[in-house]
Amino acid sequence: MAVVSNKRPVMTLYSDAMSAYSHRVRVVLAEKNITVDIIDVDPLDPPDDIMDLNPYGTLPTLVDRDLTLYESRIIMEYLDERFPHPPLLPVDPVSRASARLFMHRVDADWYEKLDRILAGGSKATAARKELRESLIGAAPIFTAKPFFMSDDLTLADCSIAPLLWRLPEFGIELPPQAQSVLDYAQRMFNRESFQESLSEAEREIRS
C-alpha cells in the first residue's frame, strides 16, 4: 500500500505492515482520507532514514513537512487536530477528556497484553488468556452504543479494531457470550476505511 488517495502526497508514514500500532494510525489516515505516502519498514532492520528522524527508531513514524512525530497515540491525535473533518474526538473539553481516558484504558488494558503476547516466552500464554477474558468481560460495553462508549466513531475505535483483527493470529477465539464484541468487530471491519487501511500482510491474517 503506497498512497491512500490519488492526490499529491504531503506527508510520509513509515509503517510496520504487521503492527497494530502502525495499523491504528493507518485507520485514522483512511477515515480522514488523508493524502499520505506509506512506506513499509522492517522493524528489525530500520533504514538510516528512520534513525535520523526518530531517535528511538520506532514505528510508526510520521513526517509532515518539517515535523516528525513518533508514538502512535501522539500521531493519531495530531492527525485529528490537523485534519478536523470528520472529527474523531469530541469537541467539548469534558467529552474529549473522557475519550482520551478511554484510549488510555484501551492501551493499558488491551494493548499491554498484546505487547506481552508479541514478546513471547512464558508470559505470552497468560497474556492471551487475560486478553480473552478482558474482552469477554467488556462485552456489555459493546452493546450500549454503536461504537465504543460513543454514538460516533472515535480514536478509541481506531485503536480497538486493529487489535480485534489480530485475534486469530494470537490464537484467541471469543465465545458466544462475547457476541457483542464480535458484532462490533465485524461492523468495524466492514468499513471501507478499515479495508483501505490493511496492508497485504494484515489481510493474510483473515484470508
**Residue 6: pLDDT over 70:** no
Q: What is the mean pLDDT of residues 153-173?
A: 97
Amino acid in position 171: G
CA separation, residue 2 to residues 29, 117, 158, 196 (Å): 13, 29, 20, 11
Q: Which pLDDT score, from 0 to 100, does residue 10 have?
A: 76
Give the pTM. 0.93
Residue 43 CA to residue 59 CA, distance in Å, equals 7
The CATH homologous superfamily for domain 11-87+195-206 is Glutaredoxin (3.40.30.10)
Cell numbers placing 137: 468481560
Residue 187 CA to residue 47 CA, distance in Å, equals 37
Q: Give me the helices (H) in 37-178, please.
A: 48-53, 72-82, 93-106, 112-119, 122-137, 141-144, 155-165, 167-170
Nearest to 171 by CA among 123, 134, 124, 138: 124
Cβ(174)–Cβ(136) below 8 Å: yes
Residue 27 CA to residue 202 CA, distance in Å, equals 13
Task: Please report, for the chain, the start and end positions of each structural domain, with discontinuous segments joined by +.
Answer: 11-87+195-206, 93-191
Residue 32 CA to residue 13 CA, distance in Å, equals 15
* CATH number of the domain located at residue range(s) 93-191 in this protein: 1.20.1050.10
Counting residues of the chain whose pLDDT is more than 70, the rounded percentage is 96
CA separation, residue 168 to residues 124, 132, 171, 173 (Å): 15, 12, 5, 7
Q: What is the mean pLDDT of residues 40-52?
A: 91
Q: Which pLDDT score, from 0 to 100, does residue 49 have?
A: 87
Scored b (16 or more CB within 10 A) or e, 192-204 reads ebbebbbbeebee
Residue 70 CA to residue 62 CA, distance in Å, equals 6
